[in-house]
Amino acid sequence: MARKKIALIGGGQIGGILALLAAQRELGDIVMLDIPEKESMCKGKMLDIAESAGVLGFDVSVTGTSNYDDIAGADVVIVTAGLPRKPGMSRDDLLDINVKIISDVAKNVKIQAPRAFCIIVTNPLDSMVYAFQKVSGFPKHRVCGMAGVLDTSRFQTFVAMEMRVSVKDVSAVVLGGHGPTMVPLTRFCTVGGLPLTQVMTAAKIEAISARTREAGTEIVNLLGNGSAFVSPAASAIAMAESFLLDQRRVLPAAALLSGEYGIDGYFIGVPVVIGAKGIEKVVKLKLHRDEQEALMKSVDAVKGAVADVDKRI
């Protein structure tokens, strides 16, 4: 059986970890693409990872490029291409620049990898995944955004740290847009099968939810230069792996909704089943009124950014 092919568009911080994780798990041959000015850096990063094969023992090829021909026929495309916000830049300035980048990426992916399952990571996440789908015209089951897996992993980690228990026994789900309006569904969180609400005080749960909402900023402040890159990469790899191995995992991802949860025409983080066909199903559940209201508030935040995208493409 021919190996699968994974294209990583953007060879920055997250791109590098994506390549390492995908190689270690032998998910397929990996090609990382960046702009021509960074082609050499990209080749160097990938050669470095390739040269770890002797010790780590993986049998996949790992290469860098700036030429879209090299991603031809990719099964999975993970997009981290974009610019981060710099001091003095407004959110609009960033959106303006990243919409152009994502449009360019989408046009090229459409030509070279027309059947790929595409996972968008670039911020502002919920509007960039929208832009990618709009420009590529790919069906909705083959385009999604990564945010919920990361936000959920953060929540799980904080619960495990607080209770001093294995994170493996913590199950959780965080819905909504990727930002301070995200919605941790604490009612459904379990620890070893027991409801979190029965084993932790409401005040502690609220503190963990608040920390989760601001977790990205916490990392940005600590790093001083750049944003989280290991946990976002691990999260996107979990989604890619579920697709490539047809695992049918139930993961929260930004999916284009057509009426589910009362939302139409927007990519919003909801639980989905990811299998060999991509987003195979949006898992629906009946939310309590306060949860639904919080989700709609999150949608409102996404709507503004999407309207800005629509003005530009």
Question: Site residues (CB under 6 A) for ligand TXD?
Answer: 9-15, 33-35, 38, 80-82, 84, 101, 104-105, 121-123, 125, 146-147, 150, 178, 226-229, 232
Shortest distance, CB of residue 108 to ligand TXD, whole angstroms?
A: 8
Name the residue nearer to ligand TXD (CB basis): 29 or 126: 126
Shortest distance, CB of residue 55 to ligand TXD, whole angstroms?
A: 25
Alpha-carbon gap, residue 281 to 299, rounded angstroms: 20
| Residue of 4, 45, 154, 178 marked active site | 178
Contact of 5 with 29, CB cutoff 8 Å: yes
Shortest distance, CB of residue 219 to ligand TXD, whole angstroms?
A: 8
Q: Which two tokens stand for residue 78?
A: 């993970």
In the annotation, is 288 catalytic?
no
Name the residue nearer to ligand TXD (CB basis): 199 or 220: 220
Name the residue nearer to ligand TXD (CB basis): 60 or 101: 101
| φ, ψ at 169 (rounded to 5°) | -95, 5
Name the residue nearer to ligand TXD (CB basis): 3 or 249: 249
Task: Tell me which residue has its CB nearest to ligand TXD.
Answer: 12
Alpha-carbon gap, residue 79 to 175, rounded angstroms: 21
Q: Which two tokens stand for residue 298?
A: 């999150």
Distances (CA, A) of 305 to 94, 181, 190: 11, 14, 33
- Report the b/e string of 171-196 with b at 16+ CB within 10 A: ebbbbbbbbebbbbbbebbbbeeeeb
Contact of 219 with 247, CB cutoff 8 Å: no
Shortest distance, CB of residue 47 to ligand TXD, whole angstroms?
A: 16
Query: Other CB atoms closer than 10 Å to residue 51's CB: what's the count?
Result: 11
Name the residue nearer to ligand TXD (CB basis): 80 or 186: 80
Alpha-carbon gap, residue 294 to 298, rounded angstroms: 6
Shortest distance, CB of residue 66 to ligand TXD, whole angstroms?
A: 8
Closest CA to 45 of 69, 66, 21, 62: 62
Shortest distance, CB of residue 271 to ligand TXD, whole angstroms?
A: 16
Q: Which two tokens stand for residue 152?
A: 């959920």
Alpha-carbon gap, residue 165 to 97, rounded angstroms: 43
Name the residue nearer to ligand TXD (CB basis): 81 or 143: 81
The residues carrying an active-site annotation are 178
